[in-house]
Every structure is written in C-alpha cells, then in structure tokens.
Amino acid sequence: LLAGTAGRPLAGRRAVVTAGPTFEPIDPVRGLTNRSSGKQGYAIAAALAERGAEVTLVSGPVALAVPPGVNRVSVETAVQMQAAVEAVLSDPAGPADIAVMSAAVADWRIDTVAGGKIKKAPGGPPTFSLIENPDILAGVSAPGPLRPALVVGFAAETTDLEANARAKLSRKGCDWIVGNDVSADVFGAEANAVTLFRRDGTTQTWARQSKTAVAQALADRIADHFNA
Ligand code: CTP
Ligand code: CA
C-alpha cells in the first residue's frame, strides 16, 4: 500500500454528482421548482472528494458554498443539468467511474416560456401546458461506453419507501438507490434517514443522522465497492 492511499481510497476515480433543485422558468420573473436545499448532494460531493475522487458537482440554484476540492458547474434547468452531466461523462479525460444523482429535478417544464413578464389580466389567470423533462438518471444508467461503473440514484418518498425505491431501481437501470423518507422533517433540515437498496437485493439502513454522516457512510460504501 502506498503511503496516503488508505485515507484516499477513491484516488484516481472520477465522479459526477447532481444536487439541488432545478428551476424551470415560466417568464423572466417566475418559475416552477422543487424543494431541495442541496445539502445532501453537496455533502456527498465533499465526502467523495475527501476520499480522493475528482468530483464535478452539477448544481441547481442553492445557497451553499462549493466544498473544498470540488469542481462545481451551476445550472438552472433540467435540460441544462442533463447537458452538464453529459459533458462530464464525455470528458476527454476519460469515463466517470461514479455518478450520484441526488438532484430534485423538476419533472416538467413549461412548454412555451414567455419572453416578457406575464401580466395579470381581467380574463383571469393564465394556463400553462407542461412537458416532461428528460430523466437524467435513466440516461446516465443506460448501457453504453460512457456509463459510469457505479450509478447511484435517490428516491424521496412519503409512503412505501422500499416498494417505490425498488421500482425506481429497475425502472431507471441504476445500481443503487438511496431511499429517503421525506414524510418527516427533511427538507432544509440537518438530518436525514435513508436506506440503501442495491440491485443485488442487499439493503443497508442508517439511523437518522446528519446529512454529513449520511454522505460519509455512502462514500465509504462507494469506496468499498471499488476496493473490494
Ligand atoms: N431524476 C433525474 N432526472 C429526472 C427526474 C429524476 O435524474 N428528470 C433522478 C433524481 O435525481 C433521483 C431519481 O431520479 O436520483 C429519482 O427521482 P424521483 O423524482 O424520485 O423519481 P421520478 O422517476 O421522477 O418519479 P416520481 O414520479 O416519484 O417523481
Ligand atoms: Ca420526480
């Protein structure tokens, strides 16, 4: 063992992490978004970097500092987030080894964004039609030369955590899903209760702990995966 590698078990690995919400504009002053502070994703990016990985954090709009040693790419919409992730995956530096998709991506966007501010009118409120956003996690998980060796998704659920998480694992084609019980106080909070569901059927549940501790535990499992 080389000196220093014990504390940096992900040295030489490249990782892409998505975090935060996406913001889908309606007009120049309004938009559609999801609830996400970005804290969990930022903590995961930090934990992977601490273990030696070269981390690109593709982040929606959040009020958080860039973790030390992490390269942040800031985006607003789901389409921009997908393009930024694809840019990391097709980097001439080589394929990414790890993808952790923790962003709360807006499922829909407004089909026609108004160029100017929509004004209140006597005829009543405007109506909007929505189109579905691309599923970034499913795209990253699709088999192919650019697929990272380990793709981890999240499932934020208010009911039936295991069934919903397992369904997402197979529907999206990722390797692991971090199931997140959001029925209790999670959004913007410091603590999180999660269960890791793996494609091989194994699970791991962590007691409610800080988002930093969840990130450390997940990064340790990722390091184990590459050093088994
Ligand atoms: N995700 C993504 N791109 C999307 C939607 C979701 O990459 N357009 C990712 C999230 O980052 C997360 C996982 O997919 O890792 C699950 O997101 P979730 O919203 O729970 O799944 P959906 O398939 O959108 O299902 P739901 O109808 O429950 O919202
Ligand atoms: Ca969704």
Closest CA to 148 of 137, 135, 162, 163: 137
Q: Whose CA is nearest to atom 4 of ligand 1?
A: 135
Q: DSSP character for 120? A: P
ipTM above 0.90, yes or no: yes
Strands (E) located in 10-164: 14-19, 23-27, 30-33, 54-59, 70-74, 98-101, 108-110, 130-132, 150-157
Q: For residues 56 and 88, give the distance between their C-alpha atoms in angstroms, rounded to a whole number.
A: 7
Domains defined along the chain, listed by start: 5-103+128-227 (3.40.50.10300)
Binding residues for CTP, by number, are 107, 117, 134-137, 154, 168, 172
Q: Does ligand 1 lie within 6 Å of residue 100's CB atom?
A: no
Q: Residue type at 206?
A: W
Over residues 85-107, the pLDDT tens digits come to 999 999 998 889 999 999 999 99
Q: 196 is written with which tokens? A: 């890791």
Query: Taking the model in full, what pTM does it have?
Result: 0.95
Q: 134: which 2 tokens? A: 């691309």
6 C-alpha to center of ligand 1: Å? 34
**pLDDT at site 93:** 84
185-215 burial code (b ≥16 CB/10 A, e <16): ebeeeeebbbbbbeeeeeeeeeeeeebbbbb
pLDDT at 190: 75
Candidate of 130, 136, 151 to mutate for ligand 1, largest count of ligand atoms within 8 Å of Cβ? 136
Side-chain-facing half-sphere of 16: CA atoms under 13 Å: 29
Token digits of residue 92: 């001439």
Verify whether residue 71 is a known catalytic residue. no
Per-residue pLDDT reduced to its tens digit, 200-220? 999 999 988 999 999 999 999
- Please compute the mean of the pLDDT values over residues 5-30 and round it to a whole number: 95
What is the 8 CA–ligand 2 centroid distance (Å)? 34
